[in-house]
Amino acid sequence: MSISFAQTRETMLDELVAANHILAHQGVIDAYGHISARDPEHADRYWITRAMPAREVSRETLVEVTLDGAPVRDAQAKLFFERAIHGEIYRARADVNALIHAHSPSLIPFCNSMTLLRPMTGPAAFIGAGAPAFDSRDVDDEGDLNVVTPAQGRALAQALGDHALVLLRRHGVVVAGANLREMTRRAVVAETNARQQLQASVLGPVQFLTQSEIDHRRKGSRDPDRAWTAWLQEARAARG
């Protein structure tokens, strides 16, 4: 089964490596976060790196897995154990072709409070009127905050709904996109927006986007690849 976005597997794999380097350089993802992309030729498979820091990812470290999280070829590959996040969201959302689970530092305060994460500027309009949240305690309360079982993954996918971002209580964030470039842009903007919202709240009442402003900006970005190009150049320069 194929999916409808115009990108070859080779291009996607190159961009998956690039997304890891960009988001590591931008401080969005740490040694424990993970990024995936749906295979352009098989909608029931996706690619993710072996368990390793994002800044060290290369084409050779990428592994193809099924939506159940099983490696297609390299059965001995040491992978991130929260693959249920990726598999269950891809299963639930045919429009999503790229995902990140990260522990973005400025987003953690919103994960652990009842204050809504809301868009401060136009680029953050994808957040909508307020980011939804997933609480692992609603599924089970065994003390493990990681999303590792299909039931937990399905509950997380349900909490995400048709949104682009979902906060994980006491844990981190998941950001979705139609492709790697959109997901990367959203992940960086979400971290920036959270930091700006925290800063603005110190000054007094905050002026957020109105619903009409959100709807207008959601019609499309004027130059969707500009940020990707700039961030990739910065990441490559930093790597030498």
* pLDDT 10s digits, 134-165: 999 998 877 688 999 999 999 999 999 999 99
Instruction: Give the separation between CA 168 and CA 32, rounded to whole angstroms.
Output: 15
Q: Does any domain span residue 1?
A: no
List the CATH number of the domain containing 117. Answer: 3.40.225.10
Q: How many domains is the chain built from?
A: 1
Which residues of the chain have a pLDDT value below 50?
1-4
Q: Does any domain span residue 4?
A: no
Beta bridge partners of 66: 45
Q: Which helix (H) or strand (E) holds 48?
A: strand 45-49
Helix and strand totals (H; E) in the chain: 7, 7
pTM above 0.75, yes or no: yes
pLDDT of 222 reads: 66
Q: Does any domain span residue 175?
A: yes
Instruction: Give the separation between CA 120 and CA 201, rounded to whole angstroms.
Output: 11
* Catalytic residue numbers, as ranges: 82
Which structural domain, as residue segments, surrounds residue 29?
9-239
Beta bridge partners of 175: 100, 165
Q: Does any domain span residue 124?
A: yes
